[in-house]
Amino acid sequence: MKHTFKPGTLIYPVPATLISCGKEESEYNIFTASWVGTICTNPPMCYVSIRPERHSYDIIKRNGSFVINLTNEELARATDWCGVRSGRDYNKFKEMKLTPMKTEVIDSILIEEAPLSIECKVKEIVELGSHHMFIADVVNILADDRFLNKETGSFDLKAARLITYSHGGYFKLGEQIGKFGWSVQKKKNKKKK
């Protein structure tokens, strides 16, 4: 048996990210966003959906760039705080003791303390209703050395201790229960001696 709910956005969990933006120090800002995700692999593209009344909306629209900063357990309080306070009233970098760092490809800033930062160049803005979707090309990714696998050079998601957002709460990522393709993977035969 299933129960009917009114239409809504109950696709959870979603990433808990901090979006940073601004070319000049006077406009640097951070806001929390969970309406963010992948659109395309080749070329690499993603999006963030923002309400037009948000302080960062005009900054991103004017500058044509933003950074998606993944968050972890260390950044959980800052992630929540930056989502309930406005950049019109607070310098969020100072209040949360976060470090703005110039990006490498776009003219913007990222959060130095973030485990992974994705530099995005706005390609299109789609007005959808309560939120406008900023569709962007991914032009660079910067990963914190602390979370790189020493043997493979890949980003170690488990070591980064990323967090998610689910229906009003923040959560740690849990135990891995499989990997891509494991359901169809052939079992290896053990050789008998």
pLDDT of residue 157: 86
- Nearest CA to 15 out of 177, 192, 160, 185 is that of 160
Rounded-to-integer distance, Cα 173 and Cα 93, Å: 26
pLDDT of residue 186: 82
pLDDT of residue 189: 66
Residues 6+ apart with CB under 8 A from 185: none
pLDDT of residue 37: 96
Q: What is the mean pLDDT of each run of 10 residues along the chain (193 residues)?
A: 89 95 96 96 98 97 98 97 95 97 97 98 97 98 94 91 94 88 80 57
* Cα within 13 Å of Cα(66), Cβ side: 34
Burial class (CB in 10 A: 0-12, 13-18, 19+), 97: exposed
pLDDT of residue 116: 97
Q: Which H, E and C letters describe 49-67, residue by residue?
A: EECCCCHHHHHHHHHCEEE
Q: Which domains does the chain have, with CATH numbers?
A: 14-172 (2.30.110.10)
Regarding beta strands 163-166 and 17-21, do their DSSP bridges make them parallel or antiparallel, or are they unpaired?
A: unpaired
Contact present, 119 and 108 (Cβ < 8 Å)? yes
* pTM for this model (two decimals): 0.92
Query: Where do we find the tokens 């044509």?
Result: 64
Rounded-to-integer distance, Cα 109 and Cα 34, Å: 19
Rounded-to-integer distance, Cα 58 and Cα 43, Å: 26
